[in-house]
Chains A and B, each alone.
Chain A
């Protein structure tokens, strides 16, 4: 199977990630931050070194890095903690369910105004202007994807953050599709950045991070943190404030190795490599009138290609590709509003998402399989 579903989770993982996880299970058995014996201190130091690595990667301090189980977990801490009754939340209309469901859940129980800004295939300055016009005294929170997980369209987060800062409104960025592919800087890009560990950072599933500075939502989970145990409440300062229960030590050490892998290649190089693969796919698939590709030259995109075989559903298309040995994701990608904007809500679309491990030979084989499907399976 040739894997092109890296926007869902990256595969394969670097050998260094495998080794770090294996080493962790074999040798680092202590519970970090809980005990005074050597084994606890050893794993504490290892965990801190990954925290420090992530902090450097996103230009902040180690204590501003909270380990979570995935990007959705991070977004839930931020969104559930910062929404306020009788206030307004702004998002784009390309958000994933990890953003829209926490907001919907709050809205079902409490009075909340939710404005979804239409950013679909808009130019950056139009997007920024739309946010500028929507920001007012009643807005309590702005949540924005850095890049759509459906189309790959990149949002001008730095400019939106400037507006939010000016208005004193917390700005949360969903970096599920961009962490490891585009530079992100906590000082310049957001008050809170939510990242998965298992996609562009090449860590294992079950890892993620909430990266924050002065905007501190209340904790979502409550429990043991290994410190201030006499207090009935969670500690006031991060990261322990948000890390109730034992953290995923093996996963975190794997994530650390994944980030080292990204750093060793360089974020820009990773992007360029994947973009060159996508460019080949776009060039090749554009030749066929039986295929629709969903990209607009006015917008900027991360390296994904969204397309459909005309006349069949995306699930049928991905099944045909799977039968030929290619793993791609069809359907709605947990982002119905993006598909609504795209006009693909009924049948979804097929997402081609490469990683650092894919190469041009695989892409050519994929294009060849597409050609065969058009010749043999479409009428």
Chain B
């Protein structure tokens, strides 16, 4: 469902990889992309394809510093 899809922005590749590990472990479908907006020039965004809003809370629980979210672009 497109409405469940969310981009979560993180500043570094380490946080992106950490997010990936955590989210995959919890059954999320995700992919990582390079991002230039919202993170002081460049960082990463994690495309969370399901249950996006719950994922942000989960990442915070694991001390992942996030830099905002945005809805997925419609394809």
> When the two chains form their complex, are residues B15 and A228 in contact, meaning their CB atoms are under 8 A apart?
no
> When the two chains form their complex, are residues B14 and A62 in contact, meaning their CB atoms are under 8 A apart?
yes
Closest to B33 in A: A36
Query: Which A residues are in CB contact (< 8 Å) with B42?
Result: 226-230
> When the two chains form their complex, are residues A227 and B12 in contact, meaning their CB atoms are under 8 A apart?
yes
B12 to chain A, nearest CB (A): 5
Is the C-beta of B65 less than 8 angstroms from some C-beta in chain A? yes
* Neighbour of B11 across the interface among A35, A62, A235, CB < 8 A: A235
Query: Which A residues are in CB contact (< 8 Å) with B13?
Result: 32-33, 44, 48, 226-227, 240
> When the two chains form their complex, are residues B39 and A63 in contact, meaning their CB atoms are under 8 A apart?
no
Query: Which B residues are in CB contact (< 8 Å) with A63?
Result: 14-15, 18, 63
Q: Give the dominant DSSP class at A's interface.
A: loop
B19 to chain A, nearest CB (A): 11
Interface residue count for B (Cβ, 8 Å)? 21
> When the two chains form their complex, are residues A35 and B34 in contact, meaning their CB atoms are under 8 A apart?
yes
Contact with A along B16-49 (1 / 0, CB 8 A): 1110110000000000111000011111100000
> When the two chains form their complex, are residues A237 and B12 in contact, meaning their CB atoms are under 8 A apart?
yes
* Neighbour of A231 across the interface among B17, B21, B32, B40, CB < 8 A: B40
A227 to chain B, nearest CB (A): 5
A335 to chain B, nearest CB (A): 34
How distant is the Cα of A237 from the Cα of B15 in the complex, in angstroms? 10
How distant is the Cα of A45 from the Cα of B41 in the complex, in angstroms? 22
Q: Give the dominant DSSP class at B's interface.
A: mixed
Closest to A239 in B: B14
> Which of B11, B17, B34, B44 gathers the greatest number of chain A CB atoms within 10 Å?
B17
Task: Please classify how large the interface on chain A is, using the bins under 10, 10 to 19, 20 to 34, 35 or more.
Answer: 20 to 34
A68 to chain B, nearest CB (A): 15
Query: Which A residues are in CB contact (< 8 Å) with B18?
Result: 48, 61-63
Q: Which of A31-66 contact B (CB under 8 A)?
A: 32-33, 35-36, 41, 44-45, 48, 51-52, 61-63
How distant is the Cα of A229 from the Cα of B13 in the complex, in angstroms? 13
Known: A48-B14, A63-B15, A235-B11. A227 touches B21 (CB 8 A): no
Closest to A52 in B: B21
Contact with B along A335-348 (1 / 0, CB 8 A): 00000000000000
Query: Which B residues are in CB contact (< 8 Å) with A45?
Result: 17, 20
How distant is the Cα of A226 from the Cα of B73 in the complex, in angstroms? 25
How distant is the Cα of A235 from the Cα of B44 in the complex, in angstroms? 14
Contact with A along B60-74 (1 / 0, CB 8 A): 000101000000000
Known: A35-B34, A36-B34, A41-B32. A230 touches B41 (CB 8 A): yes
Closest to A43 in B: B13
Q: Which residues of B contact A (CB under 8 A)?
A: 11-18, 20-21, 32-34, 39-44, 63, 65
Q: Which residues of A contact B (CB under 8 A)?
A: 32-33, 35-36, 41, 44-45, 48, 51-52, 61-63, 225-231, 235, 237, 239-240
- The 6 A-B residue pairs with the shortest CB-CB distance, nearest first, are A36-B34, A230-B41, A33-B13, A48-B17, A229-B41, A228-B40
Identify 13 residue pairs between A and B in the complex whose beta-carbon atoms are under 8 Å apart, listed by A's number: A33-B12, A33-B13, A33-B14, A36-B33, A45-B17, A45-B20, A63-B63, A226-B42, A227-B13, A228-B11, A228-B42, A231-B41, A235-B12
